Amino acid sequence: MTHRSAPGIATGVAFLAGLALAGVVASTTAVALPAATPPAAASAEVQAQAQAKALTEVQAEAAGLPLQLGRVRMLEQRGVRVYLAIPTEEQSASYFGVPLAEMGIQPIWLRIENTSEHDFWLLPVSIDPDYYSADEVALVTVKKVPKERRDAHAEMFRRNALPFFSKAGTANEGYVYATYVRGGRFVDIRMTGDGQGIRMRFAVMLPTEGFDYERSSLKVLYEKVGDYPDLGLGELRARLRELPCCTTNTDGVGEGDPLNVVIVGTGEEAISALAASGWSFTEAITADSVRRMVGAAIAEKSFLTAPVSSLHAFGRKQDVALQRGRSTIAQRNHMRIWLAPFRCEGRPVWIGQVSRDIGVKATTRSPTLTTHVIDPVIDESREYLLHSLLHHDAVSRFAFVRGVGEATKDAPRHNLTDDPYITDGNRLVVWISSEPVDPNEAVNLGWNLSTDPVLEGRGEYSKVPPKKN
């Protein structure tokens, strides 16, 4: 196994940012651009200027995204430092010379610096179980390349591929060729060896100007989160019980879907955990996204980033909308969350609404003239969120708190589009852990008892006793 020499940190970061620059890469970087004609050798002064420019662009881009999630990320654990970046579609096409996104491929750049005393193997299936090998990428894209360059084309992908073995005291860099994901993705880095294990979780938002969160007021609000009142557990419980039961329309009137979930954690922790659990960002409502949504509905196909209509809380529309899509657009779990005007134990609090879509209907109450029909047993969607986070080791504590108000099968309530729903009246509260936590170790604070939503849907009211601490 050949291991690449390690350029300095500034060089590495500049390289991450400079993928789309005019072919100027630091000479210490082992990755070559796949240009038809190699760029002219640049002087040290020109290289330094390019690196400085690239680093400035990275910092500006990261500052312009909500939740402090830029494309360039770095995490460190047990003497292993991992840098990660996902090029945009344009950067990827420029760097590799072929439009990889059109072929359903998304290269993920990693630099692994192993300063520990242990050898590690990267498990690329944790990043993407359907990742492509270098030769597979070359074969998929071969029709875009002249015959005389195809051998060099394949060798270029091999040369740029990230080695899976990380020997103690070495640094590797390169790409994992993952399946394409639009808007942003979760990357789970797992490494094993010498009886040791490493796990790092990255959430990367790619700037597209087409997603819901990019048009919200979240960035401005999140910059002020440190000024919000900081509540203890008892104060948080009392505050959550006092919140309005439900979302509203644009004018702040009417009762929409209930505010039935609460997430405690930083923006990065919350998005990482949700992304790890399979939740995707949603696109903004535009003429193009509505056209594609209607097309998917007619063809009964999936649209995993389909728009979500706006609901309001705290006087504004949702800050972030997410969903877990299915094979058809008519069915999905979807969630809207708002940054609350208070914190808990120093961490931001997010108030949300989660429900399951089970169909589509026409309505004049939506700007798209269509809306999803929700599953009336909304507590099952609430449980689904908890279970998905527990399953992916993301929960340190959880609890249920009153505040929504009960609605029974015999006396249901209705949302803004007149869909009926039933609920035990509780809100789920989840504390996100930045480190993996086994589901058996997640602590139930036992504030209130939840129901079994399956029995609840049958008209029965079965309380589930809290887990003993």
Q: What is the 3-state secondary structure (H, E, C) of 388-424?
A: HHHHCCCEEEEEEEECCCCECCCCCEECCCCCEEEEC
Q: Which two structure tokens, joined as six digits, stand for 354?
A: 């989660």
61 membership: H or E segment, kind and range = helix 44-63
Full-model pTM: 0.69
Asked whether residue 254 carries a pLDDT value surpassing 60, the answer given is yes
Q: What are phi and psi of 14, to 5 degrees?
A: -65, -35
Question: CB–CB of 34/43 below 8 Å?
Answer: no
> Burial of 253 by CB count in 10 Å (0-12 exposed, 13-18 middle, 19+ buried)?
exposed
The Cα 374–Cα 247 span in angstroms is 15
- Residue matched to tokens 């509780």: 426
The Cα 267–Cα 434 span in angstroms is 11
pLDDT tier, 40 (very low <50, low <70, confident <90, very high otherwise): very low
Q: Where in the chain are the domains?
A: 9-205, 212-464
Of the chain, the percentage scoring pLDDT greater than 70 comes to 69
Give 46's DSSP letter: H
To the nearest 10 degrees (0 to 180), the angle between helices 9-17 and 44-63 is: 70
Beta-carbon contacts of residue 341 (< 8 Å; ≥ 6 apart): 228, 229, 314
> Burial of 22 by CB count in 10 Å (0-12 exposed, 13-18 middle, 19+ buried)?
exposed
Alpha-carbon torsion (134, 137, 142, 144), positive or negative: negative
pLDDT at position 64 is 47
pLDDT tier, 117 (very low <50, low <70, confident <90, very high otherwise): very high
The Cα 448–Cα 469 span in angstroms is 14
Asked whether residue 102 carries a pLDDT value surpassing 60, the answer given is yes
Q: Got the DSSP string for 341-366?
A: EEEETTEEEEEEEEEEEEEEEE-TTS
Residues 206-217 pLDDT 10s: 655 455 555 567
pLDDT at position 280 is 72
Better pLDDT: 185 or 338: 338
Q: What are phi and psi of 38, to 5 degrees?
A: -55, 140
